[in-house]
Structure 1
Amino acid sequence: MTITTKILIAMLIGLVIGSLLNAFALDSSFVQNYLVQGLFHVIGSAFVNALKMLVVPLVTFSLICGVCGLGDVTILGRVGLKSFALYLLTTGLAVILALTVALLIAPGQGFEHVQALSDFSPPPAPPLTEVFINIVPSNPVQAFAEGNMLQIIFFVILFAIAMLMSGEAGLQLASGAEKLNEVMMRVVTVVMDFAPIGVFFLMAKTFSEQGIGLIMPMIGYFSVVILCLLLHAFGTFSLLLMLLARLNPLIFIKKMRPAHIFAFSTASSNATIPVTLQVVEKRLGINNATASFTVPLGATINMDGTAIMQGVATVFIANVYGIDLSIADYATVVGMSILASIGTAGVPGVGLIMLAMVFNQVGLPVEGIGLILGVDRLLDMLRTAVNVTGDATVTSIVARGENEIDEAVFNDPDAGVITEIELPHKR
């Protein structure tokens, strides 16, 4: 049994047990204090921390290897521009798809729960100019300590370019970085060996707190968001893969399953970076030189899932309050979604900040966000899986353009499959 199958089974068991606890035992102080907030919370959070622990060193060493592997700053610039343009394109397509589907289905018409609105006040959005200034770290050590991915990517690329320009000293450092990167990939596989346990407790905690029944009053909004996420993941990305990368989308989706499961259970693109990197390199056959640049960048600025949520939420709240939006308003939503995906990257609560910015821009009541907060955690898990799929799709397209993908590995169903972790003392 592969590690992915074990994780999938653990996820389903956690979902069932969590939902049963929510339905029948949530009032029990023992269940609340010792299971949900005790055992489930501690082990689940520890597992997410273990994944996040890998991100900064793995991205650092992998990015250094990638830039040095390219060997030419002009190639790096070309890869960077392609990746950036493709991420903006997929975000734009995502929000246009969401608005189109939501306008056709019209969720929120005749909604009877307006009186249940909470006094929601979103965290303030940082000025766009400040965000772009802050891409350049004033203190790189602080950026590494805080895990600020945009600043880390900027500094590491600059450092790796300087290594290329430094001759023999840079070559020696690059050789050391390759060895460190290899060790970090081994650490990833060791952490993944404990993934079924971590995923079980994460799912059990989420569904024991949220419950399946929570989505019933919001079934219209919830269903439209899920429909748009599925259309984007299996429709838009499949078309892009066939047209721009000339790859079989069915093989791609099947091989992305480990990253999907991790993204769904952790609801964090950054925490999923180690698994995404391993999948695109080992399973899809993409060269580390390309993947090490495009995957961390995508995890930071690619927000297709959030853009879909924004589009559907805009139509939903407009219908709930009976506000008519014009074509210009919808065009503003598209533009704001694309801009905000770069401008608010790396900011905590980014989805709600982006949504509040959009609502303010088109004149919708920001307190309406309180309506969708209840189901947002469950949708966030699905949004993250779509975001990770987008990261891998763009990586595949860029790799095809740079001739950095091994089709024999991509087409091999067993390439890169993890069954068990081989530790050094095992024979």
Structure 2
Amino acid sequence: MSSTRTDIQPRQRTLPGWMTNFGFQILAALVLGVVLGLVARAAGHTEETPTGLGTTLQLIGSSYISLLRAAVIPLVFFAVVASIANLAQVTNAARLAWKTLLWFAITAFISVLIGIAMGAIFQPGVGTGQEAPEEYAGRTGDWLAFLQGLIPSNFLGLSASTTAGDDGTMTTSVSFNVLQILVIAIVVGVAALKLGKKAEPFLDFSQSTLAVIQKVLWWIIRIAPIGTVGLLGNAVASYGWTTMGALGTFVLAIYSGLAIVLLVLYPVLVKAHGLSIRKFFSGVWPAFQLGFVSRSSIGTLPVTQRVAERNFGVPTGYAAFAVPLGATTKMDGCAAIYPAIAAMFVAQFFGIQLTLADYALIVVVSVLGSAATAGTTGAVVMLTLTLSTLGLPLAGVGLLLAVDPIVDMGRTAVNVVGQALVPALVSKQEGILDESLYNAKHAGVELMNDDVELAEPETQDVVDHAQDEPVDAERVGAEAGSAQRPSV
């Protein structure tokens, strides 16, 4: 008598795909954050009289921001060093580098002009009837102070300040000057590039450290929905819709400027280079989405680089240089649109007249000082830099913090789109863009897969990689978990 054994596999229960989708999780977090913020507000939460729910939301939001900022300093340094070192693997590296920086400056220049135009059209601070703060001593700023800030005071860009508390205790805080760290990183990267083989151990260490930091960032990105609940909930609970409504014109001016850059300037540049506008937006969507919710260009860096390589067809060696550099210096939203409108708002709010020289100074600071934002959440540093250079009351910084979480989402989204756009434009100009990948069906959310690692820069030169050994789009698509694409 024989018996047949049948193995019964337990039925696995899986969540619907839409519930595990990162975009859905973020949208749900936005809704939940607003609801919890309104509940805390209704329960009497204010900054002076916090409630348990409001304090919890504030703790969640601030903790998430702290996680992002903790990785900023080492990430900026090693990303810039590694990106400069990658130029050694690129044919005509000097020309590519200068063209990249030139396009960074061109788009920033046009963006800041758009920001000034929006500030003049909407005039968000006019009619408030407010006078300048008593401690305001008049116009004392100048652009020389900004240029002096580029010179590192020490190797780590450290600065310390001591403040006295209400109880008489003295508190010393240490901070990093990210702009100086960027300068140090550029010098170190160029020196390592010039040393050649002698610097290979250092460059290998830099690449490995950068990979480790990016992995940590992936983990932080994965909990972005939790951070979103805390950030948005705290904003609603602390300021309420009434206070936010008073700054509604300012928010409208910011998003109008961002929309013109995103929907007019960028498509015009794409079309002028003979590329498809529809494919551009479908390809850049993963980076746009993550930049919007994470509010961090540095945090979005891995996705932005994957978009440039796998959706736009930018050669890996060049993308490994241009995208990390752009994540620390290419800020059309945070460093062009926002500071221009914000400076005009503060001047209008306090009844201070700006001259043509002041507007020219806004342009200079925006084009040269974009690195001050360093791809981190928020643009308070850039705003402070602009107001200080123009000699405007710094009290305006606190005034604008009420709506900063709202405008920062749009600012960062535009930032990352520009950071992916410029490498594609330069690659197209140089004839090294894989247009078969650019025009292929884009996978989208598959680029968010944590298990798919960024490809290492190719050892062969970029021109040969693009012309003699074209990328197999079907293979790249399979690696990214995307649908089948026609072979190149």
* Matching of residue 102 in structure 1 with residue 102 in structure 2: no
CA distance, structure 2, for counterparts of residue 54 and residue 322 of structure 1? 40
Structure 1 position 384, deviation (Å)? 2.3
Question: Structure 1, residues 166-191: CA drift from partner, whole Å, max 9, x if none?
Answer: 4xx94x88778777766766655555
Q: Match for 1:231 among 242, 250, 260?
A: 260
Show the counterpart of 2:316.
288
Show the counterpart of 2:413.
385
CA distance, structure 2, for counterparts of residue 112 and residue 204 of structure 1? 28
Q: Where does structure 1 lack aligned partners over 5 or more consecutive residues? A: none
Name the % identity: 26
SS of corresponding position for 1:337: helix
Contact 1:268 1:384 (8 Å CA) reproduced: yes
CA distance, structure 2, for counterparts of residue 94 and residue 275 of structure 1? 24
* Matching of residue 357 in structure 1 with residue 388 in structure 2: yes
Contact 2:370 2:382 (8 Å CA) reproduced: no
Matches within 5 A, 1:76-225: 76-109=93-126, 111-112=127-128, 114=130, 127-134=145-152, 139=155, 148=178, 150-151=182-183, 153-154=185-186, 157-158=189-190, 160-162=192-194, 164-166=196-198, 170=200, 189-225=218-254
Give the TM-score, by structure 1 length: 0.76
> One-letter code of the match for 2:113?
I
> One-letter code of the match for 1:114?
Q
Show the counterpart of 2:446.
417
Question: Structure 1, residues 260-314: CA drift from partner, whole Å, max 9, x if none?
Answer: 3443344333333344334433443433322332233223333322322333234
* Matching of residue 17 in structure 1 with residue 38 in structure 2: no
Structure with the higher helix share, 1 or 2? 1
Larger radius of gyration: 2
Give the TM-score, by structure 2 length: 0.67
Structure 1 position 228, deviation (Å)? 1.0
Structure 1 position 83, deviation (Å)? 2.2
Structure 1 position 240, deviation (Å)? 2.0
Contact 1:60 1:156 (8 Å CA) reproduced: no
CA distance, structure 2, for counterparts of residue 367 and residue 185 of structure 1? 36
Question: Structure 1, residues 29-66: CA drift from partner, whole Å, max 9, x if none?
Answer: 9x94543333x344444444554566666667766765
Contact 1:43 1:201 (8 Å CA) reproduced: yes
SS of corresponding position for 1:133: coil
CA distance change for structure 1 residues 147 and 293 in 2, over 3 Å: closer, same or farther?
farther
Higher relative contact order (CA 8 A, sep 6+): 1
CA distance, structure 1, for counterparts of residue 394 and residue 76 of structure 2? 36
> One-letter code of the match for 2:24?
K
CA distance, structure 2, for counterparts of residue 293 and residue 214 of structure 1? 43
Show the counterpart of 1:267.
295
CA distance, structure 2, for counterparts of residue 183 and residue 139 of structure 1? 23
> One-letter code of the match for 2:403?
V
CA distance, structure 1, for counterparts of residue 176 and residue 357 of structure 2? 39
Q: Match for 1:8 among 6, 20, 26?
A: 26
CA distance, structure 2, for counterparts of residue 47 and residue 313 of structure 1? 26
Question: Structure 1, residues 138-197: CA drift from partner, whole Å, max 9, x if none?
Answer: 546989x9694514642552365156444xx94x88778777766766655555443333
SS of corresponding position for 1:414: coil
* RMSD, aligned α-carbons: 4.3
Contact 1:56 1:147 (8 Å CA) reproduced: no
> One-letter code of the match for 1:294?
A
SS of corresponding position for 2:117: helix
